[in-house]
């Protein structure tokens, strides 16, 4: 049996002598029952006899031969990578020295050996919840037990959950050994063997590891069971055909115990180091750990937390769950991806492609442990080197987000509790009367007949079709809510969705092969199996039939974790290992079935145990496909549950938040994090969903919400209205101005979404993405950027008329006035009366804007105004993507316009790189230049002299231009 040896990040380089020592084959005793093999190395008894000496000599000769062979394949030359550990780093303790220190401790001094492991590096050996971990229980797993002084001695399980584990792996805990390694066309493939079982059932003692060098910045590793097919996540990922030629990473492997170390070639920084804790690979428990390059780690959604995660014993559980956003629990979506900053401002990412329930444990070493209960270990490392590049490389794997239809970026209004289509209509008319921008009206579940999908209340919502036609006549759109659960109790022949679903067999099935019945809004319900293409066609047919009655424009798919008002089903769930696995991650409710369907439910592609967290993704895919077929336009879908690649099919809103200032603040983290996940179309319910907001809160939230990529005001039943018309004239006007400001920035925002679709860029962007060398930006989640240049600094506290904001080094311009501030990297106090949100432009940027109107359809036809924020050298750049706003695949079919603007040497030029008919409908009417140090004597547009204005704050403005966007132009001054 192979013994596990812990290595700190600096101790992963070995000398040749260590290789020789570790390469010797380890003798193993035969056992009658492999499940009863001890976790500790077996020590055979010895007697001094002639026969033993002879046998020993023979074994020594064989061992020498094995050592030479092993050293050959571990050190065989490779043009790209080192697959064997490198020599010790100067000034650092080598692995052999660490082993020597451990070996000096007498075997009887188990506690002293355990004390060698410092608290930040203690990896939990007893992660089960609800167990008081005693010394007897811990040592039964052959682990170290040391109560910590920081926790109550009466509650060791609480200490383990929220602090330093009392029960942790010793340095010699058994793990896998790398017994063979062969080169492949893409990298290497190796076999890992473990000599005995662990304390979880179903150990897989032989696994296969494959390392693929897919691109210069992407490494792909898979660890699978070669003897049996296991569930794998059914999403498309790229299949590289050629090994990377100049990778930016080095790969090192340790043999006994097996370990994988990935370094950045340019700096030597350790990006992944699995030697820090043992590898587990059992049927329902897979675990590995790694050191982290720094405590600056982001992602790992969906959770309510700060943008920068806390690494002080923080466990993040992933298993899609219907629960209002709260700290320290699993929420609606699952995204096992993180981004980590390194020293010097470089960054890398890590993605575990696994959809089973999991815990991700952060600890202050810093280190991270992945702990999942099914599937395989299939992961990627992305080399960046900057944060934005990491996200680009990640979405190259999961899929770049779809280009949204233009009206998706307008102002959306919804509530649960309009109670009738006429009252909904009255709100729409009220916004029009006050001149408040409004693109899309929604209805919540109350529009349905008895909460049944694909119906509308014939009494209270009898005028719904007329309302939708009126919206369309005013260039507005309409979105309906749908829940996946289908009523199962209607009289036979009266409810086509269920009757037809039964006929086609689209519902998830229980242990008896019958549709599983749960309970949601309409009462007892069946749940469509969206892993089956038959269900997609049934879903399309239902949508098509309903669209003929109510011509909706988009879909809001809610309750799709899937949510269930009973645990499992109306008849409970079977008793088996899927319902009660050996280890259950820290899901809310304690069971996988808590407020969802039974884990053992059968779906087309696998069990729900494996597919649960994919449910929202699969429903979004079916919904987007159906809308394309029905409307022949870009589909608009907003989903509550999400999984990697969701951005291909839908956006996301952050769920049932509250009308609290804290929720206002945490919404920023949500939109930034989901932009990391490749889902840029994201926002929170403006003014909060539950409770009634104060007027001041709703004003501040509307100002912030105007800069969510997806902007919707939504509140719950029984609460007072919170749309802008429901408040005082002062508040209403402040909200109106915030929304008009958003609409004026539509050309800039639309272009950002184009870059998200084409390149995988973020739209709402953390400051650290643009200033990765500035450590002060690493924890900022009260400000954010649109793209690289527009800094948003909202008010997030009550009763104040100012706000503090951090400005990275450089020149910044007030968006509204052009006043400049030169920052050395400092926090500045900004005036923020109730009717203002602070916006600043970064030097060197050009921002295209338009005169706003009541809908984006009208606004998008207005002339452009270009705002240039000049650097000290007088330069700036920007761009504009434009198309008809709704046709499918306009970029892919060349039906678009793309223009680059630049300023240099006192001249702005436009260069039309690609043009379509849409560009001929637009003109550039005016432009402003911020940071022009001296008043010009004259301004020329092409060769024509034109009037201009120049203000003392160094703002030059030229109006009345009438320049065609489809033609190159020059504006110069002297």
| 30: CB partners within 8 A, 6+ apart | none
The CA distance from 97 to 104, in Å, is 11
Residue 937: Cβ-neighbour burial (10 angstroms; 0-12, 13-18, 19+):
exposed
Supply the pLDDT for residue 162.
55
pLDDT, tens digit, 9 for 90 and up, residues 200-225: 999 999 999 999 999 999 999 999 99
The CA distance from 516 to 669, in Å, is 37
Least confident window among 65-74, 350-359, 636-645: 65-74
Average pLDDT rounded to a whole number, residues 231-254: 97
Tell me if 163 sits within 8 A of 173, measured CB to CB. no
- H or E element in which residue 536 lies: helix 533-547
Query: Within its chain, how far is the Cα of 470 from the centroid?
Result: 38
Query: Within its chain, how far is the Cα of 156 from the centroid?
Result: 33
| Residue ranges of domains in the chain | 176-398, 407-485+531-719, 758-973
CATH topology identical between 176-398 and 407-485+531-719 = no
Supply the pLDDT for residue 150.
55
Q: What is the CA radius of gyration of the chain?
A: 31
Category of 130 on φ-ψ map: left (φ > 0), alpha (ψ -120 to 50) or beta: left
| 823: CB partners within 8 A, 6+ apart | 807, 808, 809, 810, 811, 812
pLDDT, tens digit, 9 for 90 and up, residues 568-606: 999 999 999 999 999 999 999 999 999 999 999 999 999
DSSP-derived 3-state class of residue 406: helix
Residue 554: Cβ-neighbour burial (10 angstroms; 0-12, 13-18, 19+):
buried
Tell me if 619 sits within 8 A of 540, measured CB to CB. no
Q: How far is CA 429 from CA 440, 467, 855, in A?
A: 13, 11, 13
pLDDT, tens digit, 9 for 90 and up, residues 686-732: 999 999 999 999 999 999 999 999 999 999 999 999 999 999 999 99
Whether the link from the prior residue into 302 is cis, omega within 30° of 0, is yes
Whether the link from the prior residue into 562 is cis, omega within 30° of 0, is yes
Which is more confidently placed, 44 or 752? 752
pLDDT > 60? residue 20: no
- Place 38 in a pLDDT band, splitting at 50, 70 and 90: very low
The CA distance from 608 to 50, in Å, is 62
Supply the pLDDT for residue 111.
78
Work out the percent of the chain whose per-residue pLDDT is above 70.
87
Tell me if 634 sits within 8 A of 401, measured CB to CB. no
User: Tokens 């424009």 appear where?
Assistant: 553
Give the CATH superfamily of 407-485+531-719: Glycosidases (3.20.20.80)
Tell me if 485 sits within 8 A of 562, measured CB to CB. yes
Tell whether the torsion through CA atoms of 48, 54, 58 and 60 is positive or negative. positive
pLDDT > 60? residue 90: no
The CA distance from 18 to 16, in Å, is 5
DSSP 10-62: GG----HHHHHHHHSPPP----S-GGG--SSPP-------HHHHHHHHHHHHH
pLDDT, tens digit, 9 for 90 and up, residues 372-430: 999 999 999 999 999 999 999 999 999 999 999 999 999 999 999 999 999 999 999 99
DSSP 596-619: SB-TT-B-SSSBHHHHGGGHHHHH
The first and second tokens of residue 455, run together, are 């119906």
Tell me if 297 sits within 8 A of 308, measured CB to CB. yes
CA dihedral of 738, 739, 745, 746, whole degrees rounded to 10: 170
pLDDT, tens digit, 9 for 90 and up, residues 5-17: 333 333 333 222 2
Whether the link from the prior residue into 549 is cis, omega within 30° of 0, is no
| Residues annotated as catalytic (active site), given as ranges | 558, 561
Q: Are strands 838-842 and 820-823 parallel, antiparallel or unpaired?
A: unpaired
User: Tokens 């798919």 appear where?
Assistant: 557
E runs forming strands in 694-783: 711-715, 764-765
Q: What order do you get walking across the sheet with 270-273 strand by strand? A: 249-254, 259-264, 270-273
pLDDT, tens digit, 9 for 90 and up, residues 518-548: 999 999 999 999 999 999 999 999 999 999 9
DSSP-derived 3-state class of residue 784: strand
Mean pLDDT over the full length of the chain: 90
DSSP-derived 3-state class of residue 318: strand
User: Tokens 């105004």 appear where?
Assistant: 865
Cα diameter, the chain: 109
pLDDT > 80? residue 624: yes
The CA distance from 827 to 816, in Å, is 20
E runs forming strands in 169-320: 177-183, 187-193, 206-215, 218-224, 249-254, 259-264, 270-273, 280-281, 286-291, 297-301, 314-318
Tell me if 604 sits within 8 A of 346, measured CB to CB. no
DSSP-derived 3-state class of residue 430: helix
pLDDT, tens digit, 9 for 90 and up, residues 133-171: 999 999 999 999 999 875 444 444 444 445 899 999 999
Least confident window among 81-90, 421-430, 777-786, 831-840: 81-90
Average pLDDT rounded to a whole number, residues 266-284: 98
- H or E element in which residue 662 lies: helix 661-676
Supply the pLDDT for residue 110.
73
Q: Which CATH class is domain 176-398?
A: mainly beta
DSSP 794-850: ---STT-SEEEEEE-SEEEEETTT--EEEESSEEEEEE--TT--EEEEETTEEEEEE
pLDDT > 50? residue 780: yes
The first and second tokens of residue 215, run together, are 């691109």
The correct answer on CATH 2.60.40.1180 for the domain covering 758-973 is yes
């Amino acid at each position: 049996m192979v013994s596990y040896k812990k290595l700190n990040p600096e101790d992963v380089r070995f000398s040749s002598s260590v290789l020789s020592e570790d390469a010797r084959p380890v003798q193993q005793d035969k056992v009658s029952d492999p499940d009863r093999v001890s976790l500790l190395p077996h020590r055979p008894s010895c007697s001094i006899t002639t026969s033993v000496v002879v046998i020993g000599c023979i074994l020594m000769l064989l061992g020498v031969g094995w050592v030479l062979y092993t050293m050959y394949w571990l050190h065989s030359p490779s043009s790209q990578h080192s697959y064997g550990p490198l020599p010790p780093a100067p000034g650092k303790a080598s692995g052999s020295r660490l082993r020597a220190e451990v070996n000096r401790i007498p075997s009887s001094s188990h506690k002293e050996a355990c004390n060698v492991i410092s608290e930040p590096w203690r990896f939990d050996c007893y992660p089960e919840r609800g167990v008081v971990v005693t010394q007897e229980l811990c040592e039964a797993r052959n682990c170290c037990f040391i109560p910590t002084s920081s926790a109550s001695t009466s509650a060791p399980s609480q200490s383990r959950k929220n602090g330093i584990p009392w029960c942790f792996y010793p340095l010699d805990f058994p793990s896998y050994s790398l017994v063979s390694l062969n080169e492949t066309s893409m990298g290497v493939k190796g076999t890992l063997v473990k000599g005995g079982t662990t304390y979880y059932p179903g150990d897989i003692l032989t696994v296969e590891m494959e390392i693929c060098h897919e691109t210069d910045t992407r490494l792909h590793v898979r660890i699978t069971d070669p003897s049996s097919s296991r569930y794998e996540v059914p999403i498309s990922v790229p299949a590289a055909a050629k090994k990377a030629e100049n990778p930016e990473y080095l790969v090192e492997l340790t043999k006994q115990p097996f370990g994988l170390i990935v370094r950045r070639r340019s700096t030597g920084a350790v990006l992944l180091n699995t030697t820090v804790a043992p590898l587990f690979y059992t049927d329902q428990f897979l675990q590995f750990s790694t050191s982290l390059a720094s405590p600056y780690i982001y992602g790992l959604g969906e959770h309510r937390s700060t943008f920068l995660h806390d690494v002080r014993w923080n466990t993040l559980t992933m298993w899609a769950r219907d629960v209002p956003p709260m700290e320290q629990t699993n929420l609606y979506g699952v995204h096992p991806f993180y981004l980590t900053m390194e020293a010097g401002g470089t960054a890398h990412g890590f993605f575990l492609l696994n959809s089973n329930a999991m815990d991700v444990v952060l600890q202050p070493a810093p280190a991270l442990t992945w702990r999942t209960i099914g599937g395989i270990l299939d992961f990627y490392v992305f080399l960046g080197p900057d944060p934005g590049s990491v996200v680009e490389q990640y979405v190259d794997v999961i899929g770049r987000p779809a280009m949204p239809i233009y009206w998706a970026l307008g102002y959306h209004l919804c509530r649960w509790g309009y109670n009738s289509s006429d009252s909904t209509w009255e709100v729409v008319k009220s916004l029009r009367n006050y001149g408040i921008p409004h693109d899309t009206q929604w209805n919540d579940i109350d529009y349905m007949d008895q909460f049944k999908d694909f119906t509308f209340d014939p009494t209270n919502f009898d005028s719904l079709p007329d309302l939708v036609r009126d919206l369309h006549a005013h260039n507005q759109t309409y979105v309906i809510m749908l829940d996946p659960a289908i009523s199962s109790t209607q009289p036979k022949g009266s409810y086509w969705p269920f009757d037809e679903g039964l006929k086609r067999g689209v519902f998830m099935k229980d242990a008896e092969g019958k549709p599983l019945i749960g309970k949601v809004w309409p009462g007892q319900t069946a749940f469509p199996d969206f892993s089956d293409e038959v269900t997609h066609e049934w879903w399309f047919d239902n949508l098509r039939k309903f669209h003929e009655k109510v011509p909706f424009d988009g879909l809001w798919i809610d309750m799709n974790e899937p949510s269930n008002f009973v645990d499992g089903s109306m008849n409970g769930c079977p008793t088996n290992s899927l319902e009660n696995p050996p280890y259950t991650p820290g899901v809310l409710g304690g069971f996988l079935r808590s407020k969802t369907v039974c884990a053992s439910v059968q779906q087309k592609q696998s069990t729900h145990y494996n597919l649960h967290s994919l449910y929202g993704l699969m429903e979004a895919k079916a919904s987007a496909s159906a809308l394309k077929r029905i409307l022949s336009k870009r589909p608009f879908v907003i989903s509550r549950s999400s999984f990697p690649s969701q951005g291909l099919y839908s956006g996301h809103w952050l769920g049932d938040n509250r009308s609290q200032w804290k929720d206002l603040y945490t919404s920023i983290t949500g939109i930034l994090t989901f932009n990391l996940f490749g889902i840029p179309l994201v926002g929170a319910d403006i003014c909060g969903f539950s409770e009634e907001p104060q007027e001041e809160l709703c004003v501040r939230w509307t100002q912030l919400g105007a800069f969510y990529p997806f902007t919707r005001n939504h509140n719950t039943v029984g609460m007072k209205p919170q749309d802008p018309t429901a408040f005082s004239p002062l508040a209403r006007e402040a909200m109106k101005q915030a929304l008009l400001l958003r609409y004026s920035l539509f050309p800039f925002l639309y272009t950002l979404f184009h870059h998200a679709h084409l390149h995988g860029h973020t739209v709402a962007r953390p400051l650290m993405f643009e200033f990765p060398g500035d450590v002060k930006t690493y924890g900022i989640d009260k400000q954010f950027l649109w793209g690289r240049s527009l800094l948003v600094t909202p008010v997030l506290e009550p009763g104040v008329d100012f706000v503090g904001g951090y400005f990275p080094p450089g020149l910044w311009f007030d968006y509204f006035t052009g006043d400049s501030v030169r920052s050395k990297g400092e926090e500045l106090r900004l005036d923020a009366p109730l009717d203002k949100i602070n916006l600043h432009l970064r030097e060197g940027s050009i921002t295209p804007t338009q005169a706003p109107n009541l809908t984006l359809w009208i606004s998008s036809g207005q002339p452009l105004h270009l705002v240039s924020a000049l650097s000290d050298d007088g330069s700036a750049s920007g761009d504009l993507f434009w198309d008809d706003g709704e046709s499918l695949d306009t970029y892919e079919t060349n039906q678009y316009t793309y223009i680059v603007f630049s300023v240099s040497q006192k001249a702005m030029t436009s260069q039309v790189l690609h043009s379509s008919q849409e560009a001929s409908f637009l003109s550039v009417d005016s432009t402003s230049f911020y940071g022009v140090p001296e008043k010009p004597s004259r301004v020329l547009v092409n060769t024509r002299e034109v009037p201009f204005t120049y203000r003392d704050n160094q703002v030059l403005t030229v109006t009345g231009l009438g320049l065609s966007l489809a033609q190159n132009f020059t504006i110069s001054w002297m």
